[in-house]
Amino acid sequence: MPSYLKSSKAIQFGVLFIAFFLLNALIGPSESNYLWRLPPLLKDIPFLINDLVRGLMFEWMPIDVYDPSIDEYEQKPLFREITRAISSSFSFVINAVREFILGGSKTIVAFSSWDFIKENPWAVWPALPWTVVVGWAMVLGYKLQGRNLAFLTGVAGLYIAAFGQWSPSMQTLSFILIAAPVSVFLGLALGVFAYKSKAVEAFLNPLLNVAQTMPHYSYLVPIIVLFGVGDHAAALVTILFATPSMVRLVLLGLKNVPTDVVDAGRMSGCNDFQMLFRVLIPTAKRDVLIGVNQVVMQCLSMTVIAAFIGAQGLGSNLLIALNSLRIGTGLEIGICIVLIAVVFDKMSLAWANKQTDYFADLSFTKRYRHFLIMAAILVGGIVMAMIGSIIFEEDFNYFYIVPHNKGLTTAPFWQAGVDWVWDTFFYTLKSFNEWLITGVLVPMRDAYLAMPVVATFLLVMGTAYILAGLRSALIVGGFLLFIAFSEYWDRALITMYMATFAVVVSGIIGITLGAACAQNTFASKAVLLFCDFLQTFPSFIYLIPVIMLFGITDTSVLIASLAFASVPATRFTVEGLRSVPPVLQDAGSMCGVSRLQRLISIEIPIAFPHIMLGVNQTVNFALMMVIIGAFIGTIDLGQLILKAISEPQGTGIGITLGVCVAFIGLAVDQIIRTWANKRKLALGLN
């Protein structure tokens, strides 16, 4: 290759595009031409997966199980008995937490029987008054950080109780209080294993990649088949979704532990166990606890999806509200989810930043002060609930449990807001919508579908080669080949077209907004807070107003994607720009650059690798939302995934489609990550 070709990326891209357009022009649509579309050699994969799961669940190793309820022996496959046992242990712990707060009898049943409950009506665990639970949470907040967090917790609790969302919120909380610790524990264990053994790491890495990029509702069907429907299944889906990032962060944290620290540990004579729990994990504490924080946020972002397979609580109420178009109620529920997320987020971060005081020497009352306060709150709350039962004799006891829909409501206000948005914007947006669909989206989709398969491969692999090198190009080619050999290539092209549009627009929005806000400390904080809100606020809620304004069209799907996918681009840009060393900025200023020049020629290039990681996440978020767009109405892979839920071969089809989506995400990830690492090396960062 001549040297001028190697030196300039612009020329390389020029050659690539010319070749790409030539291929496009030369190869016309033809079913028999393999250059146009590859044959679906892998079309049996869904059925293989399906038969495998079915065989395992319903045929493999049948054992005789006595069922006393029908007084008969039944043949049950071993594997299913195992998964069922896991299910019921999860149900047991979730119910135990739930009934501790909300009362009930299932936990007592687990140690006796339903007959026992029937004969002994007193055997019911009473609910805690909401005042007690909120009080306890406030004490916890105070202990972790101080007055501010206690205040925030109190306000959140008051909101939830006053708006009559107490019981569903606590139901949601109870399965998160199980799912989050299990994810943390699993993530910690797997992370440590991966740190200890290269083989485990090599084995886990691709699995984590796929798990992190696979759309979550493509594994809902397999989970139903394996574990059934209910809170336990919801908890399992949530764990599956939340664990990978924890594993990654634990591994990252452990790898970053300085060798000096490890040596010091060794010299002090640590055994393996001490090394791990007294040296490595405490040193990596910050990363590990950021992982905990991530787990909590991801668990809460799953509340709605989890309701599809039986999670009780806010998510399920939200779906019901939206299905009868009660947007106001939906918003109130959404705010409850965000509030729980914010409180959890602040608490776990406060915990992350808390230093253990090894030298404290406290008296009994000082040491157990918080427990004493909590006991006092318990007594106080119960007394209040008793007084409440006298005051509200006729009505509901508002000091005990505020019943659903008997609290305050702001639904009419939000409804009026939605009407206002409609009246103000609809007709302006209508012409914009028509222009966007006929002028941009439809031509873009048609162009994607008109690409011969070789041209697509050339373009993607060529880009990978130029930006990231030969190895990346081959890996990316492998991912694409799997999709091209499946039956879903055309569908995947439509997914890619929507994802491309969403990524480009949200990348521009995110980077511009981030760069603007990064100039000012207050604006940075505000925009990061807004990012947190968008990330945990259930996207299903804004799907409805978006559909009202833009109809059941690709525009709606894309607008909904933008709201979600702009978040990481914005966040990483702000973080990247804010962490440019002040020394470099000063050096620039001294050379006499203007504010804008400094931003463009110093700060952005330095922050570029970090920003690219944000763009990388934007790609994943955009893909996820485009797939969720199936709930609005799309004709891409997402529609097939949604359809798979009701099909007899659904398990296999769902997983295969999920893998296709994951591979699109991973292909982009491969290019961007390698490219960003190269830039980092070139800039001498790391």
Partner 1 sequence: MKRLTKKLMAGTFAIGLALVSATGAASADSSEPIKIPIKNWSSQIVMAHVIGGMFESMGNNVEYVPVDNQASFEAVRVGDITILQEVWQSTMQNAYYNAMEKGGLIDAGTHAAETLEEMGVPNWVIEQGLCPGLPSWEALKDCSAAFATPDSGGKGRWLEGPQSWHGEVMPNRIKGLGLDDTWTVKFAGGADALWTELEAAKKEGRGTVIFNWTPNFTDASGFTFIEFPEYYDGCRIADGGTMDTTGCGSPKGWLKKGAFWKFPKTHPNAYRAFSQLSFTTPQIGSMAALVDVDKMTHEDAAKKWLADNEDVWKPWATSVLGEGN
Is 433 among the residues that bind partner 1 (CB under 8 A)?
Answer: yes
Output the DSSP codes for 45-76. Answer: HHHHHHHHHHHHHHTSSEEEEEETTTTEEEEE
Q: Does residue number 333 form part of the binding site for partner 1 (CB under 8 A)?
A: no
CA angle centred on 543, ends 528 and 417, rounded to 5°? 80
Nearer to partner 1, 538 or 629 (CB): 629
What's the closest the beta carbon of residue 419 comes to partner 1, in angstroms?
Answer: 9
Residues 505 to 544 in contact with partner 1, rule: CB under 8 A: 544
Residues in the chain: 686
Closer to partner 1 by Cβ: residue 258 or 648: 648
Footprint (CB under 8 A) of partner 1, residues 434-453: 434, 437-438, 441-442
Q: 2, 582, 592, 648: which one contacts partner 1 (CB under 8 A)? A: 648
* Least distance (Å) between residue 216 CB and partner 1: 14
Q: Which of residues 475-504 bind partner 1 (CB under 8 A)?
A: none
Q: How far apart are CA 209 and CA 217, in angstroms?
A: 17
Q: How far is the CB of 496 from partner 1 (least distance, A)?
A: 18
Report the residue number, 491 or 598, with the smaller CB distance to partner 1: 491
Tell me: does residue 117 bind partner 1 (CB under 8 A): yes
Binding of partner 1 by 65 (CB under 8 A): yes
Q: Report the 10 Å Cβ neighbour count for 124.
A: 13
Cα–Cα distance, 451 to 649 (Å, whole number): 30
Question: What is the DSSP track for 306-349?
Answer: HHTTT--SHHHHHHHHHHTT-HHHHHHHHHHHHHHHHHHHHHHH
Measuring CA to CA, which residue among 30, 26, 38, 17 is closest to residue 458?
17
- For the bound state, the minimum distance from the C-beta of residue 7 to partner 1, rounded and expressed in Å, comes to 45
| Closest CB to partner 1 among residues 135, 330 | 330
- Asked if 196 is part of the footprint of partner 1 (rule: CB under 8 A), the reply reads no
264 within 8 A of 301, measured Cβ to Cβ:
no
- Select from 247, 517, 622, 642 the one that contacts partner 1 (CB under 8 A): 642
Q: Where in 231-260 is the site for partner 1 (CB under 8 A)?
A: none
Which is closer to partner 1, CB of 534 or CB of 635? 635
The one among 221, 246, 290, 331 contacting partner 1 by CB under 8 A: 221
Tell me the closest approach of the beta carbon of residue 646 to partner 1, in angstroms: 4
Does the protein bind partner 1 through residue 634 (CB under 8 A)? yes
Core vs surface per residue 625-651: b (16+ CB within 10 A) or e? bbbbbbbbbbebbbbbbbebbeeebbb
Which one among 102, 236, 250, 307 touches partner 1, defined by CB under 8 A? Answer: 307
CA–CA separation, 340 and 509 (whole Å): 28
324: contact with partner 1 by CB under 8 A:
yes
For the bound state, the minimum distance from the C-beta of residue 222 to partner 1, rounded and expressed in Å, comes to: 11
Place of tokens 């944000």: 614
Kindly state the tokens that stand for 630. Answer: 């199936």
Question: What φ, ψ does residue 404 adopt, rounded to 5°?
Answer: -60, 130
Q: Is 284 helix (H, G, I), strand (E, B) or coil?
A: coil
Report DSSP state, residue 629: G
Cα pseudo-dihedral 196, 199, 202, 206, rounded to 10: -100
| Shortest Cβ 553–partner 1 spacing (Å) | 5
Could you say which of 309, 503, 562, 599 contacts partner 1 (CB under 8 A)? 309
3-state secondary structure at position 16: helix
What is the spatial distance between Cα 49 and Cα 539, in angstroms, rounded to a whole number?
31
> How far out from the chain centre does Cα 219 lie?
14
Residue 187 CB, shortest distance to partner 1, in Å, is 15
Q: Closer CB to partner 1, residue 409 or residue 585?
A: 409
Q: How far apart are alpha carbons 3 and 615 in whole angstroms?
A: 31
Q: How far is the CB of 69 from partner 1 (least distance, A)?
A: 4
| Among residues 176, 517, 630, 664, the one that binds partner 1 under rule CB under 8 A | 630
**In this chain, which stretch among 309-317, 508-516, 582-590, 609-617 interacts with partner 1, using CB under 8 A?**
309-317
Nearer to partner 1, 24 or 555 (CB): 555
How far are the Cα atoms of 342, 353, 522, 670 from residue 345, in angstroms, in the given order? 5, 12, 20, 30
With CB under 8 A as the contact rule, the residue among 7, 41, 48, 67 that binds partner 1 is 67
Instruction: Verify binding: residue 312, partner 1, rule CB under 8 A.
Output: yes
Stretch that binds partner 1, among 341-349, 429-437, 457-465, 616-624 (CB under 8 A): 429-437
Nearer to partner 1, 478 or 551 (CB): 551
The number of beta carbons lying within 10 Å of the beta carbon of residue 673 is 17
Name all contacts of 645-650 with Cβ < 8 Å and 24+ positions apart: 645/217, 645/220, 645/221, 649/46, 649/47, 649/50, 650/50, 650/221
Which residues in the 537-596 window bind partner 1 by CB under 8 A?
A: 544, 547-549, 551-554
Nearer to partner 1, 265 or 654 (CB): 654
The three-class DSSP label of residue 648 is: coil
Of residues 312 and 506, the one with the C-beta less far from partner 1: 312
Smallest gap from Cβ 550 to partner 1, in A, equals 9
For residues 407-426, which are near partner 1 according to CB under 8 A? Answer: 422, 426
Instruction: Determine which residue in the list 42, 173, 179, 225 makes contact with partner 1, applying CB under 8 A.
Output: 225
Contacts of 317 (CB under 8 A, 6+ apart): 165, 168, 329, 333, 404
Contact call for residue 228 and partner 1 (CB under 8 A): yes
Choice from 172, 616, 639, 674 touching partner 1 (CB under 8 A): 639
Q: Can residue 365 be called a binding residue for partner 1 (CB under 8 A)? A: no
Residue 647 binding partner 1, by CB under 8 A: yes
Backbone angles phi, psi at 221, to 5 degrees: -60, -50
The identity of residue 258, as a single letter, is P
Min. distance of Cβ 124 from partner 1 in angstroms? 12
| Binding footprint of partner 1, residue count (CB under 8 A) | 77
Q: Between 70 and 89, how does the x/- string for binding to partner 1 read (CB under 8 A)?
A: xx---------x--xxxxxx
Q: How many CA atoms lie within 13 A of 409 on its CB side?
A: 16
